[in-house]
Chains A and B, each alone.
Chain A
Amino acid sequence: MTNQPPFILVAEDDKFYGSIFKAKLTKEGYEVIVAINGEEALKAARIKKPDLMLCDLIMPIKDGFETLKELKADPKLKDIKVIVLSNLGQDSDIDRARALGAHDFFVKTDLSIQDVVDKIRSNLAL
């Protein structure tokens, strides 16, 4: 996959965030798909397994926690690295997401968009 750009799956219901992720990450050279809820994200992941997944927590139809749970329950998908990017920042949320297998957890407003790119980069490098 040397020529193949890394595939980033973003689960994000907010269209503004969605477009920012799409624009920024594409510009950074990643292949990006933005799913507008957990259900869609899982579907997309099953079609093409992403190298990394960014996941929001509060989403319609299927929220981030549910999505994480299902993802980690699926033997084919369970090794996908998931970075939770949410605006929920309570410890209980963080703990719950980590318990469900989230690789990292960030509050969106705590990071600049460049920070997000850096986190993705460092996670993919691992």
Chain B
Amino acid sequence: MQATTVQIFILVFTSLLVIGVSIISYLFSIKKDKTWFYAYATMLMILVQWMSDTGSSLIYQNYFLHLASIILFPSIIFSLFIIYILQGSRSVRQLLYMLLIGELGYVISVGFLSLLGNTPSYIQIGWPWISNHLFSSLAIIIDYFFLLAIWPIIHNPKYKLPLFIKVWLVCWILLIMDSLIFTLGTFWDNPIIYEIIMSNIIIRSILSVIITPLISLYVQYTIKENGDNIAYRRWDSILGKNEEIEIAIQESKEKVDKLEKLELEMTQRNIELENQRKAIANILDDVQKDKENALNLAEELRRFKIAAEQSNEMIVFTDAEGIVLWGNKATEVITGFTKEEAVGKKAGVLWGKLMPKEWYQDLWKTVKIDKKIFVSEIQNHRKNGERFLSSFIIYPLLDSSNNVQFFVATQRDITKEKEIDRMKTEFLSVAAHQLRTPLGSMRWNIEMLLSGDLGDLGVLQPEVKETISSIYDSNRRLIDLVNDLLNVSRIDQGRVSENPQPTDINTVIVSVLKDLKPLTIEQDIKLIFNPINIPNITLDSKHLHEVISNLLSNAIKYNKKSGSVELTTKLTDDIVELKIIDTGMGIPEVDMPRLGSKFFRAENAILTQTEGSGLGLFVAKSYVEAWGGILKIESKIGNGTTVTISLPLTPKSHILDKNLEAKPHTTI
């Protein structure tokens, strides 16, 4: 191979490389893709250095070529160095690492070649070669620190140096520094080292004269292109004198803080979102349950509706103002209004308005204000004007906040019942009349027979007289029974009229005792009564007479032979207490609960065949309770019975009021 050809090739190739690297580096640095820039530049340096060294080794001891490789290497480094700084590097330190890596890479690559046996003879020089590179590395490091030291001086605005001069000074000073360092190598007593190092010094000296002005011009050009003083600022920042960095750091910190805050917010937001998600899941769950409940409810409601629809009782739903919302079939049947006619109208207006004003006021107060159930009998009218009587219940349905939402009213047409009642009463009075008529004439006839009014019967055989007497007794019993039945039916229907008068209970008792005297004598009963002063009670004396008479006759009838009956009276506060204490057979405990119910007679009373209808006590109890009093029975079998009635001095008696077309309502 001709040495000149190789020389030219290497020179051209390396020169092209320098230019190429410069351009590529510039382009990359514009894009600020520093990683690529470092990698690329480093690789190129290794390549160039290796090639220059290889070239020199091909023509061992060809001094010129060796020099060329030495010239090329630092010039490349400087080019890179300046371009790198001016085009956006943040730190000179990074450049330093790059250069050192370049040197190391070169040492490794040459070492690798030596293993292949194709060792450049140049390397065989040994220590001189190594020392050259050691010096190069050392020069780079020292250059770096030196640059840090001198830049503030050169850049000081006080001197107002043009950029061109500044850069030239830097390069120049650096090269002198390098030369001084390499000069140290001359102290090494080795002709080859000496030769190499000297060549370095010479080359760098030439470089500082020729290359640095070129670089300076290049820099000037670049800055002009960028149009402002970016370069200065970059130099400042590179040399650690920049507030911008601090501001940038501060800004970065703030940004980091903001980011951290943001992250925290995001975390919280995430937690919130998660909670919301859970809440929504729960709601969905509830909705599902609600749906099931609603379906069940709907089914229940459907069944209920069928039942309500078929009911014989009129069932009406209204809103809180009494406007009809729904009514069942019976509503149509009873009132004559069709559903379409009724819905949306006031129930009271449709079929009501027949009751006294106070009754309606009472109704609304009970259901709307007290929110309670109202029960009464009510007179309403049908669509055709016909009146009907019904038993009426209305109750409010409340919402969750306890306000009346709906009313449910049921009505049972009791017009027919009332008619039947009326007929029953009529029948009873007619029947009573019809029964009483023969009984009465029988009674009077027997009386006249016995008193001789129908003529002297002569001396009757005792058996005949006894027979007539027993007929008379039976007749009297029948009359009593009819009277009792009449009383009971009147009480049942509330058709007993009270004529309350101030009544002296002692007078009534004495009168009863007088009436019952024959019975007392017959039964050989001792009557004990010591009247004390009791104020007048306001009630119907006829009824009180009946009460005392019924109780006292029981006490006599169910007494033992030659027993006694004691009557005592007592006044405590406003309550009059009358006790009738007998020494009779007593009442079996099992019969106590049914005592005082219609036609009921205790077991032992029936067995002894004592006459009785089982109505006397019922009648007495009915009156006493109507007056607001209490009738109490205490008894022990075989030990007699004590009946106590307690009456208020001013008894109420309205339940016996016969004007009971519509009974007073009860409130539940």
Contacts and interface: CB of A to CB of B under 8 A. Distances in A.
A108 B453 contact: no
B440 A109 contact: yes
Interface stretch (B210-218, B430-438, B621-629, B642-650): B430-438
A113 B482 CA distance: 19
Interface in B478-510: 479, 482-483, 486, 490, 495-497
A112 interface: yes
Contacts of A27: 453
B441 A20 contact: yes
Interface stretch (B98-106, B442-450, B526-534): B442-450
Given A20-B445, A109-B482, A113-B447, A87 B437 contact: yes
B429 interface: yes
B259 interface: no
A24 B433 CA distance: 23
Contact of B445 (A16, A92, A109, A116): A16
A17 B441 contact: yes
A108 B436 contact: yes
B281 interface: no
A90 interface: yes
B444 A91 contact: no
Given A109-B483, A112-B447, A91 B496 contact: yes
Contact of A114 (B451, B479, B496, B497): B451
How big is the A interface, by class?
20 to 34
A17 B486 contact: no
Contacts of A108: 436-437, 440, 444
Contacts of A14: 437, 441
A20 B448 contact: yes
Given A16-B441, A16-B445, A58-B433, A89 B453 contact: no
A124 interface: no
A113 B472 CA distance: 13
Contacts of A87: 432-433, 436-437, 440
B447 to A, nearest CB: 5
A44 interface: no
B440 A17 contact: yes
A19 B441 CA distance: 10
A58 B497 CA distance: 22
Nearest to B441: A16
A88 interface: yes
Contacts of A86: 433
A88 B448 contact: no
Interface string A104-124: 000111101110100000000
Interface string B256-295: 0000000000000000000000000000000000000000
Contact of A90 (B429, B444, B445, B454): B429
Interface in A24-79: 24, 27, 58
A90 B436 CA distance: 13
A114 B496 CA distance: 29
Contacts of B465: none
A23 interface: yes
A95 B496 CA distance: 13
B453 A91 contact: no
Contact of B486 (A16, A20, A89, A112): A89
A14 B436 CA distance: 12
Contacts of B443: 109, 112-113
A109 B429 contact: no
Q: Which of B447, B479, B486, B496 has the most CB of A within 10 A?
A: B447
Contacts of B438: 16
A51 to B, nearest CB: 22
Contacts of B445: 16, 20
B447 A114 contact: yes
B658 interface: yes
A113 B433 contact: no
A63 to B, nearest CB: 12
Contacts of B483: 89, 109-110
Q: Which of B436, B479, B497 has the most CB of A within 10 A?
A: B436
A107 to B, nearest CB: 7
B373 interface: no
Contact of A91 (B448, B479, B497): B497
A84 to B, nearest CB: 13
B98 to A, nearest CB: 133
Contacts of B448: 20, 23-24, 113
A24 to B, nearest CB: 6
Q: Which of A86, A87, A116 has the most CB of B within 10 A?
A: A87
Contacts of B658: 91-92
A20 B444 contact: yes
B334 interface: no
A116 to B, nearest CB: 8
Contact of A109 (B454, B479, B495): B479
Contacts of B433: 58, 86-88
B439 interface: yes
A54 to B, nearest CB: 13
Contact of A107 (B436, B441, B453): B436
B317 to A, nearest CB: 42
Given A87-B432, A88-B433, A91-B496, A23 B447 contact: no
Interface string B458-482: 0000000000000000000001001
A107 B444 CA distance: 13
Nearest to B429: A90
Contacts of A88: 429, 432-433
A113 B444 contact: yes
Contacts of A23: 448, 453-454
A30 to B, nearest CB: 13
Nearest to B428: A90
A13 to B, nearest CB: 10
A104 to B, nearest CB: 15
A113 to B, nearest CB: 4
Contacts of A109: 436, 439-440, 443, 479, 482-483
A110 B181 CA distance: 162
Nearest to B438: A16
A116 B433 CA distance: 18
Nearest to B658: A91
A24 B658 CA distance: 38
B94 to A, nearest CB: 128
Given A14-B441, A110-B483, 6 more contacts: A16-B441, A17-B437, A86-B433, A87-B437, A89-B486, A109-B483
Interface of A: 14, 16-17, 20, 23-24, 27, 58, 86-92, 95, 107-110, 112-114, 116
12 contacts: A14-B437, A17-B440, A87-B436, A91-B495, A91-B497, A107-B436, A108-B437, A109-B443, A110-B483, A112-B444, A113-B443, A113-B444
